[in-house]
Structure formats: C-alpha cells, structure tokens
Amino acid sequence: MSRWRAGPGGHWPQLGFGVGLRAEHYEDVVGAALADGQATDGQASGATSSGRSAVEVDWFEAISENYMETAGRPLAILEAVRRDYPVALHGVSLSIGSSDPLDVDYLKKLSALVDRIEPAIVSDHLCWSSFGGRQLYDLLPLPLTEEVLDHVVSRVREVQDRLGRRILLENPSTYLAWECTNIPEAEFLTRLAELADCGLLLDVNNVHVTSTNMGLDPYAYIDAIAPGRVGQIHLAGFEQRDGYLFDTHSQPVSEEVWALYRHALRHVGPCTTMVEWDADIPPWSVLAEEVERARHFAQAFVRPDHQSTARTATYEDPHGISDPR
Amino acid sequence: MESPTLAELQQSLSTRILDANVQGSSVPRFDDGLEHHLAAPDAADLSSRLGVYTTGYPARIREAVSEAFPAIAIIVGDGSLGAMLERYRPHVATGWCNLNSIGERLPTFLETDRLSEELPFLPDLAQLEWRVFESFHASIGEPADLGFASDWELSDWERARIRFQPGVAIVSSAWPIHDLRAARECERSAIEIELVGRPQSVWVYRQGFEVVTEPLDEFEALATHGLVAGRTLGDVMGQLESAGADAGSVLELFSRFAALGVIEGCDREP
C-alpha cells in the first residue's frame, strides 16, 4: 500500500532562482581551495561562505548520478554547497517508463544520496532510458497511452514509497512520437501527477523544443498543465538543427523561451526556477546574468508576500516536499 | 492487428540504437519496420529525428571515454578514436547508468585491439588513466596513527602488512606512460616522446582531493608492487635483496608513505 496520501498538490518549496552545479564553476561556488583539490584529509577547507565569490543564486541543482558512485572531490563539493545552499537532486537514469522492472540497486543508491544530502527536491524525467538491462544513456520518448499511464503511475508510487518522499517528473524534449500515442503530453503529465501524487518539473525550454518539433502550440501545452503540481521550472538554450530544434543546454535562453516562461509564471504562480547550461559552459558571470533575468521576469508576476526568501541553506521542510506518513 | 506493447516498442527502438552503433552487427531486429510505429510532423524528417537518438548513444560514450582517458583521446586523435570506440562498444558493460564506468574495460580491450599494434603502449596508458580515474573517486579515510608500532622490533616490522588508502595504485609498463599521460595537456601535433627503452612505473595516490602520479625507480616500483599486493615488509625486503637492492629502502618507503598519509592501517602477522 502506498505511503502517500491522495490529495492536492502544491506546497512545493520556494527556493528562488538557481543553476546546475557544474565542475566548471566549482571555484566560483565553493572557493578556490576546495575547487582546486587542495583540501586535505577529506576536510572541505575553504568550502564556506567566506570562500565564495560572486555567487548570486539561491540554490543549486546537482545531477544525481554524478554523486552516487564517488567518494572523492565531487561529493565533497556537493556537501560543501549543501552546507550553504538548498540543493535539488535531478536524475537522468530512473527510467520511470521502462518496461523493465525498476532498478532496485539504482534506487538504493539514490536513496542513500538523498539521505546524505537532504535535498529540497528530487526529480527525474518522463521517459525511458534502459531496456533489457541495458542503459541507452538517453531520455527516450514514451508512447502516451492509458496503458503506459497506468504503468508509470504505479512505478512513480513505488519510487516515492522507496524514497519516502514525493518526486518531480520533467517533460523531456522530444523529436518524434509513437504512432499509438493518444494522450497529449501535457494531459498525460497532469493525470500522472494527480494519480501518482507526484510533482512536475516544467522545463519551459523543452516545451518550446517539443512543441516546435512536433507542431504543437507551446502556450496551450502549458495551459494544460495542472499549476498546483508544478514544483520547479527549468530554463535552458537549444540549437537549430536541420529541420528541428535540438535541446543542447549550450546557449543562452532564447527570447521565445523567455516569453513562454512569463506565460508559465502567469499560469503556475511563483515557482522555483533554475537555468541549465551543460555544454560550452560560459563564465559564471554569464550564467548569473541569465539567473538575474529569470528573477527579474518572475518578480513582475509575484506578489511581495510570495517572494522567495531562500537565500540561505535552510528552509522550512528539511525533507523537502515529502508528506508525513 | 493488435497494437504493440510497451516492451515491444522499447525493444524495437533500443535494438535500433544499439544495432546502429555496432560495426557489422548481426543482431536480429525485432522489428525492421520501426518507422511505422513512429511519427513526426513531416514524414520526411523521420530518419533525421531517429538519428537524434541513434547518434546520441555513441556521442555520449565518446564523451565519457574522452573524459576518463584524456591522454588516449589526444594521442589517438579524433578519427581513430571514433573507429576504436565503435569496436569497443560491444565490450561496454551497460547495466549501470553511470556513464563514468563505461571505460572500465577499455584497458583490457586495448590489449587485443588492432590500434595497439600501431601504438603498443595504449593498454598500459589506459590502465594508468583508469587508475587515476578510480583514485579521483575513491574514498579517503583517516591516515593510520602508527604510534602503536613505536616499540616494534625489526622482526615485528618484517611481519607487517600495509593497508593502503583505496586511492593508491601502481602501474608498470615497458613504455614511458607517465610522460605519455602528460600529453593530455598538449596539442596533438606538439607531442614528441621518445618511446623506446624507457620503461616507467607510476605510483598513483590521493593528496586531499587531488590525484598525484609519481614515477618510481625500478626498486621502488618492485617494493611498492609487493606492498600494494599485501605482502609483508619482510617478503618485500627479501625480494629487493634478491634483486640486488638495499632491503632497508623498504623502511624508507614505508616512512614516506606514512608521511603522505596514504597508509590506512598496518597489521602484524602472528
């Protein structure tokens, strides 16, 4: 039996405006001593707020898999960051839509990392990334049908039971669909969130990329998402390829996506937001400008009593978005 | 006609992704008509859209291997690296989602790969780079407090075995692998390393979060191999004597290891 109470969504932590934690910015975030590997005996010397420089973000998102099988510098940096900031753990390998059994070993490692880091948010993607025990290292599209919805709902419940908390699932960028799909993606996500009592990570760039690639209306897509289920928003850049948009996270956020973000804020309300930049990573100052732009747009839609105060490492619920048993 | 199940669709696409990336693959496809189950707004786009997924798989493997084996990637060069990775892909252990582990079998694979006929140092260089990678991710415990051994006699030391920190390793080669590894910071065209008659043994350990590699001389290497393998100091001293070296240098090495904090513990055989 599920530990999770059926009920309305919402009550997501308001973390403010963050970025993905990437090795290229370790020094900007935790200071030179730790970033250069000069700390000794596993102690994170220099990993204090006094060692930071120019950090103008409220929180960080870390790729879960990068910290599951390491005991070296990456984990020490994540722990140092966590001492000063809220952290979200964002996975790419849960493979929630695979027809394989859930990977129990993966879930144990994720659970151990969650216990160690105490993230505000745990998320992954609506996709499949493994089949027959083989990893495919991609976020592959699912056929969106009633049968698959039931399948994913039951797996999300099981994951949440194992982790002891709710997760968020992100809409992926897609380049093609399955012929048998008969539920629009936004409707699928909303029904999934309601039935499994999970949250949604609304990637506005992915909405733009998918909608352009598949001939959809991105504004209608966002309007079909249940606003109370959205616990986080992603922003990122894409590249124009021959006949489609490619989700590269290698560019500034496009003007089309900024416009869509403003629309999403009107629909969702104040929402934890982060900027992803994973390839051709720019200097910290460039990333910080993108974050400031998101903050600027958001402030126009947020009432003063709802503005984020999450510039510290603490927040009301140390276990994030989990409900009590 | 019944709609295919989720498992059938996933088998079809995963086979296409894996099959498309194996040279001369004879893996039978569940469904050669995969495209009939897929849709894109413009049907003419379907193959390029499918290509996003089939080309993404080798690209990610290449990226992960290049990150873990930077010297191999530079020395081999773009074209040969791509071809070598096509041959390596069937050897990849794909059960674990962490792409970092994708290079685990590369040193062994290179022992018999045709690229190593031309560049025979590749397996040893790959072994060194993999040990560095493992050391980077290894845990570091408290260095041993060796005060308990302050009253040990020589006979006690001879029966002692060292337990090293997990990030410690040694790699020996008939080739100058330490110098070759330094090529990771060079332009490919600027690499000029004398290869013949320059065997090197390299000791890998962690200082804080930094991985250190250090070439060892012949006798240091002999002793370190023995100690890392768990032999007693007495055994290793005997090995050194047989090789015509000063057996006392083992105790000097021990002191050096202790000063660097790479000793996790020391046990005395009864």
Is it the case that residue B21 has pLDDT exceeding 70? no
Interchain proximity A181–B136, CB inside 8 Å: no
- Asked if A62 and A78 count as a contact pair (C-beta separation under 8 A), the reply is yes
Average pLDDT on B42-51 reads 84
The pLDDT score that the predictor gives to residue A321 is 39
Contact A143 B9 (CB under 8 A): yes
Pull the structure tokens for residue B75: 């020395």
| B89 part of contact set with chain A, CB < 8 Å | no
Would the pLDDT of A254 be above 90?
Answer: yes
Query: In the prediction, which pLDDT does A205 show?
Result: 98
Q: Tell me if B97 and A93 make a contact (CB, 8 A cut-off).
A: yes
The rounded distance, in Å, linking the Cα atoms of A168 and A159 is 11
- Residue A8 predicted with pLDDT over 80: no
Residue of B5, B6, B102 to mutate, testing the A interface (most A Cβ within 10 Å of its Cβ):
B6
User: Cβ A99–B18 below 8 Å, yes or no?
Assistant: no
How buried is A249 (Cβ within 10 angstroms: 0-12 exposed, 13-18 middle, 19+ buried)?
buried
pLDDT in tens, A211-230: 999 999 999 999 999 999 99
Tell me which of B209, B210, B211, B262 to substitute to probe the interface with A (most A C-beta atoms closer than 10 Å): B209
Write the ipTM: 0.86
Least confident of A44-48, B29-33, B47-51, B255-259: A44-48
| Contact check, Cβ <8 Å, A136/B18 | yes
The pLDDT of residue A157 is above 90: yes
Report whether pLDDT(B98) > 90: no
Confidence of residue A299 (pLDDT cuts 50, 70, 90): confident
Smallest CA–CA distance from A139 into chain B, residue: B53
pLDDT attached to residue A86: 96
CB atoms within 10 A of CB B32: 11
Contact B38 A76 (CB under 8 A): no
Q: Do A177 and B39 touch (CB under 8 A)?
A: yes
Are A26 and A35 in contact, with CB atoms under 8 Å apart? Answer: yes
Mutation choice for B interface testing from A153, A175, A238, A247 by most B CBs within 10 A: A175
**pLDDT at residue B270, rounded to an integer:** 80
Residue B170, pLDDT score: 97
- Minimal Cα distance from A72: which residue of B? B137
Phi, psi of A218 (to 5 degrees): -65, -30
Kindly determine whether residue B46 and residue A176, on different chains, have CB atoms separated by under 8 Å.
yes
Q: Is the pLDDT of residue A188 over 90?
A: yes
pLDDT of residue A322: 36
**For residue B237, is pLDDT > 90?**
yes
Alpha carbon of B143: minimum distance to chain A alpha carbons (Å): 8
Q: What is the pLDDT of residue B147?
A: 83
Residue of A142, A178, A243 lying closest to B45 (CB–CB): A243
- A72: nearest CB among B37, B97, B137: B137
B136–A73 CB contact, under 8 Å = yes
Cα distances (Å, whole numbers) of residue A308 to A15, A295, A305, B48: 6, 10, 9, 43
Q: What is the mean pLDDT of residues A73-95?
A: 94
Determine, for residues A74 and B137 on separate chains, whether the beta-carbon distance falls below 8 Å: yes
- Is the per-residue pLDDT at B26 higher than 70? no
Which pTM does this prediction carry?
A: 0.86
Q: A158: pLDDT confidence band, cut at 50, 70 and 90?
A: very high
Chain B residues near residue A99 by CB distance under 8 angstroms: 5-7, 10
Please list every residue in chain B whose beta carbon sits closer than 8 Å to the beta carbon of residue A38: 208-210
Residue B214 in 3-state DSSP? strand
H/E element holding A59?
strand A59-63
**pLDDT value of position B208:** 83
**pLDDT score at A320:** 37
pLDDT of res. B157: 87
- The kind and range of the H/E element at A275 are strand A273-275
- Residues in a beta bridge with B221: none
The amino acid at A157: R
Give the E-state strand segments of A82-189 in sequence order. 87-90, 121-125, 128-131, 134-140, 168-170, 177-178
Q: Which pLDDT score, from 0 to 100, does residue A312 have? A: 32
Q: Is the pLDDT of residue A82 over 90?
A: yes
Q: Which stretch of A117-131, A208-222, A281-295, B109-123 has the lowest confidence by average pLDDT?
A: A281-295
CB proximity under 8 Å: B 16-55 to A:
17-18, 36-42, 45-46, 48-50, 52-53
Chain B, nearest residue to A77 by Cα: B209
What are the boundaries of each domain within chain B?
1-119, 120-270
User: Across residues B120-142, what is the average pLDDT?
Assistant: 94
Summary count for chain A: helices (H), strands (E): 10, 13
Alpha-carbon span A261 to A275, nearest angstrom: 12
CA A271 to CA A58: how far, in whole Å? 13
**Cβ atoms of residues B178 and B200 within 8 Å:** yes
Mean pLDDT computed over A186-203: 98
Please say whether the beta carbons of A74 and A24 come within 8 A: no
> Given a cut of 70, is residue B22 above it in pLDDT?
no
Mean pLDDT, rounded, for A140-149: 98
Instruction: Give the best residue of B21, B37, B97 to mutate against chain A (max A CB count within 10 A).
Output: B97
Distance CA B138, CA B140 (A): 7
Angle between helices B249-260 and B233-242 (to 10 degrees): 130
pLDDT at B233 over 90: yes
Size of interface A-B (CB pairs under 8 A): 149
Query: Could B97 and A180 be called an inter-chain contact, meaning their C-beta atoms sit closer than 8 Å?
Result: no
pLDDT digits (tens, 9 = 90+) for B60-96: 999 999 999 999 999 999 889 999 999 998 888 677 7
Residue A177: list chain B partners with CB under 8 A. Answer: 38-40
- When the pLDDT of each residue in chain A is averaged and rounded to a whole number, the result is 85
Q: pLDDT by residue (tens digit) across A11-68? A: 799 999 999 998 888 888 887 556 655 433 332 223 333 344 455 899 999 999 999 9
Burial label, B159 (beta-carbon count in 10 A; 0-12, 13-18, 19+): middle
Of B179, B169, B149, B180, the residue nearest B228 (C-alpha): B169
pLDDT over threshold 90, residue A118: yes
Cβ distance B97 to A65 less than 8 Å, yes or no, reads: yes
Name the pLDDT band for B161 (thresholds 50, 70, 90).
very high
Q: Which amino acid is at A114?
A: V
A154/B121 Cα distance (integer angstroms): 51
A145 and A179 Cβ atoms separated by less than 8 Å: no
User: Does B23 score more than 90 pLDDT?
Assistant: no
Tens of pLDDT, residue by residue over B200-230, are: 999 999 988 889 999 999 999 999 999 999 9
Render pLDDT for A160-172 as a digit per residue (tens, 0 to 9).
Answer: 999 999 999 999 9
How large is the average pLDDT for residues A174-182? 95
Predicted pLDDT of residue A302: 59
Q: What pLDDT does residue A151 have?
A: 98
Q: Is B138 on the interface with A (CB under 8 A)?
A: yes
> Which residues of A are less than 8 Å from B56 in CB distance?
137-138
The pLDDT value recorded for residue A32 is: 58
B144 contacts B266 by C-beta, under 8 angstroms: yes
B53/A140 Cβ within 8 A: yes
Chain A neighbors of B262, CB-CB under 8 A: none
Note the pLDDT of residue B45. 83
CA atoms within 13 A on the CB side of B126: 23
Per-chain mean pLDDT for chain B: 88
- Looking at residue B134, its pLDDT comes to 94
Residue A255 is predicted with a pLDDT of 97
For residue A56, the distance in angstroms to the closest alpha carbon of chain B comes to 26
What is the homologous superfamily of the domain A17-302 according to CATH? Divalent-metal-dependent TIM barrel enzymes (3.20.20.150)
**Best A40, A107, A176 residue to mutate vs chain B (most B CBs within 10 Å):** A176
Residues of chain B positioned with their CB less than 8 A from the CB of A178: 9, 37-39
pLDDT exceeds 60 at position A98: yes
Measured between beta carbons, the chain B residues lying within 8 angstroms of A128 are 10
Contact A297, A3 (CB under 8 A): no
